[in-house]
Amino acid sequence: MVRTTVACARCRKAKLKCIHDGSPPCQRCMKEGATRIVDTCVLTRPIIQRKHLLAAYTSTGVIGSSSGERHNAAVTRSRFANFQRASSHRGQPSEPQKDFIHRVTRAANVFVKQFPELNFLHLPSFLQSLKTLDASLVDTTGSKSVGSPATKIKGVCFALLALCAPWLEDEYSSEDCVSSARASISAADQPDILSVQTLLIIAMYEWGCGRTLKAWADSGVAIRSIQLLNALQKSHDTAGMHGEIQNRTFWACFVMDRLVFCGKPQPLALPLQSVEVHWPIGQRDFAFGQTTSRVYPQNEYGAPTEHAEYKDLDKVYAVIVQGYDIWSKILQWIAGGGRRRLSVHQQVRPPWARDSIWRALYDELHDWRERQDPNIRFPETAIEVHASLGQAHSFAYLNLIYHLCRLFLGREYIPFLPTPASEPSGPVDPPLLTQEAPSGWWDERARELFSSSASITDILRRLDTAAVPISTPFSGFCSFSAATMNIYVLHFPRMNLGRSTTATADVDTDRAYLDRFRTQWAIGARWWTTIETMQQLYQKASSDRDEFFGKSRIDYLALEAIINHSASTFPPETETETHGGPQMSYPPATPRASSANNGPGALVGDHLVSETAGLGDVHQCQSHLPPQYEPVLYCDGDGNEWNAIWPLWDDQMDVLIVPEGTPWD
């Protein structure tokens, strides 16, 4: 008798050593004694499972072109077919059927922890529904209704398996799981809550795969479906646990409407002022099915979303939803031009002015934050405290949203390419501000900006240290955004007055996180390439001032576009001032010679700004530059090109992205 890696399925699943003489049955199966067990003892070598990288595989599952790889893909598809057929097998549940239920259960637990922005899955109810699904697997009547509850539940199951594949180390194709999930939706005669949930999970998966237009479309179908359900729903149908699950599914649609954003100032499908459903109830009440406590948002536009103060994370989903609403407003403002947008009075308003958009957004963010107890704010409270309570991911998401909002608001007024001697002083490219800032204003904005980027990095670092890592598309975007500012202040430390003492370690942490992230989500490859390019650019610009003298934002519009989470759009040839004023032209995008040959200009904040640039240039990010002013590629002599067209949310550009190269149109 020998101990070997050859084992039967029962011993391998039980993680016990399979002892045999080289032929079945093994000792354990012999000891069981039952004929069916002895007869089914088959000795096999172990199947080497490997983590399935989302979006790294094509829909065929083939990585390369070798015959061996094609054979492995074919084997994987064959196993998935058996895995799928197990859901309609008659008779007593087989091992594959039980394995299916087990994997879905694991995926559901991962989903609840890793994706708090989609907090609609009531685990007790869902796990109970899996028993119903298990019963349908052994149904001997032969009836298979395409619109049956079991079919719709299986749609959610396959969507969960696709989205949570990085945590399951699954050998089955995520793309096949998504196809099966979509099939369950198409089989439905009319929208139902399970179909909406399936679409939301698929939308999150598509976003992580970098197929943002698909994600946006799936999210849109989910939104219209939930609106239809709410319109057709009778009042008594919204009571109880089913009503609360539907309510949370609505708020998940609300979040996805703001999260899967195509980078353009488009109207939201679910504006908060039109919402007439109640906020999500507390986590404890939701878990125990106690659904009597309900609070509705105020419908008056501009009013606070809720005056409640939050002492703990019991109502964390409501707080996260409110945070995403503020985030979407900030993103829409930036995508629509940001600080370059004219006010209603056709003036450039300084950010400290009470009637400026920036101040309104900042105040709303501040009020939302102030209603949260220090116990649920980072860095006032450590991640490890909430990790010990099993709520680290909810705590992390809440604080990632806040620091990301503060990062975007602060980044809007700093120069894209400062000099090593530059200090916080406001914008240095048009439109320039005509008023002096209050004392210490820019110093405080720099402190907030770079402390938020460091906090985002620290949150993700501490989650790893506490053995509760998070790796979702949103957390990846937060890490990417933090990396852009950590790299910035590493090479230009005076922009935070030397206060970013951990910048080097933060950049290393960001790079390590994104390096791991890009192996799990395809969209991470774009972000990785961007920070590689930024680091090269800022390193050269900080060490060679003469070569980069006079360079400003307009020389890097395309690179700035991906950093600002928006599509690449450029200004028109001419813009006519209000009241029929004269037409204005734009200076060349890239000064190719030294400052002495660039014509009249002024040095503002160590940057050369053309005298032809003025407040009228506020229109610069609203349309397209004329051909003669198209952004040209700036080369540094080593062949590095800094102003390629960078795709982020638009997948109409099929580009090759590799760490050693630069993607371009």
With a CB cutoff of 8 Å and minimum separation 6, the contacts of 594 are: 549, 550
3-state SS class at 136: helix
Indicate the pLDDT class of residue 231, thresholds 50, 70 and 90: confident
Residue pair 231/191 in contact by the 8 Å Cβ criterion: no
Residue type, 505: A
pTM: 0.76
Query: Which of these, 546, 551, 616, 552, lies nearest to 584 by C-alpha position?
Result: 616
Higher pLDDT, residue 49 or 29: 29
* % of the chain with per-residue pLDDT over 90: 47
Give the model confidence (pLDDT) of 204-213 as tens digits.
999 999 898 8
Indicate the pLDDT class of residue 83, thresholds 50, 70 and 90: low
Higher pLDDT, residue 73 or 582: 73
Question: Maximum Cα–Cα distance for the chain, whole Å?
Answer: 97
DSSP bridge partners of 584: 575
Query: Which H or E run contains 364?
Result: helix 357-370
Q: What is the pLDDT at residue 152? A: 85
Indicate the pLDDT class of residue 661, thresholds 50, 70 and 90: very low
Indicate the pLDDT class of residue 393, thresholds 50, 70 and 90: very high
* % of the chain with per-residue pLDDT over 70: 69
Question: At CA 212, angle to CA 207 and CA 217, rounded to 5?
Answer: 105
Mean pLDDT value across residues 102-122:
95
Indicate the pLDDT class of residue 194, thresholds 50, 70 and 90: very high
Phi, then psi, of 3 in degrees rounded to 5: -105, 125
Q: What is the pLDDT at residue 77? A: 54
Q: Which of 234-238, 322-326, 616-620 has the lowest mean pLDDT?
A: 616-620
pLDDT over 70 at 567, yes or no:
no
Q: How far apart are the first and last CA of the chain?
A: 65
**CA 15 – CA 8 distance, rounded (Å):** 11
pLDDT over 90 at 468, yes or no:
yes
Q: What is the pLDDT at residue 137? A: 53
Q: What is the pLDDT at residue 589? A: 30
Higher pLDDT, residue 629 or 192: 192
Most confident of 547-561, 594-608, 637-651: 547-561
**CA 163 – CA 175 distance, rounded (Å):** 10
Give the model confidence (pLDDT) of 478-510 as tens digits.
999 999 999 999 999 999 999 999 999 999 999
pLDDT over 50 at 635, yes or no:
no
The sign of the torsion formed by the CA atoms of 206, 211, 217, 223 equals positive
3-state SS class at 336: coil
pLDDT over 70 at 223, yes or no:
yes
Give the model confidence (pLDDT) of 289-320 as tens digits.
888 767 878 644 344 455 678 999 999 999 99
Higher pLDDT, residue 242 or 629: 242
Q: What is the pLDDT at residue 86? A: 52
Query: Which of these, 363, 348, 336, lies nearest to 264 by C-alpha position?
Result: 336
Q: What is the pLDDT at residue 585? A: 30
Q: Which of 63-72, 193-202, 217-226, 484-493 has the lowest mean pLDDT?
A: 63-72
Mean pLDDT value across residues 87-92:
48
How many other C-beta atoms are found inside a 10 Å radius of the C-beta of residue 603? 12
pLDDT over 70 at 577, yes or no:
no
Q: What is the pLDDT at residue 547? A: 85
Give the model confidence (pLDDT) of 335-378 as tens digits.
888 898 876 666 788 999 998 999 999 999 999 999 999 999 99
> What does pLDDT average to over the chain?
76
Query: Which of these, 307, 326, 375, 397, lies nearest to 119 by C-alpha position?
Result: 397
pLDDT over 70 at 258, yes or no:
yes
3-state SS class at 541: helix
Indicate the pLDDT class of residue 238, thresholds 50, 70 and 90: low
Mean pLDDT value across residues 437-446:
97
pLDDT over 60 at 618, yes or no:
no
pLDDT over 80 at 235, yes or no:
no
Q: What is the pLDDT at residue 84? A: 56
Rounded to whole angstroms, what are the CA distances from 356 to 338, 352, 369, 425, 487?
A: 11, 7, 20, 19, 30
Q: What is the pLDDT at residue 106? A: 95
Give Cα 164 to chain centroid, integer Å: 14
**CA 119 – CA 249 distance, rounded (Å):** 8
Indicate the pLDDT class of residue 145, thresholds 50, 70 and 90: low
Give Cα 582 to chain centroid, integer Å: 44
Most confident of 144-148, 425-429, 596-600: 425-429
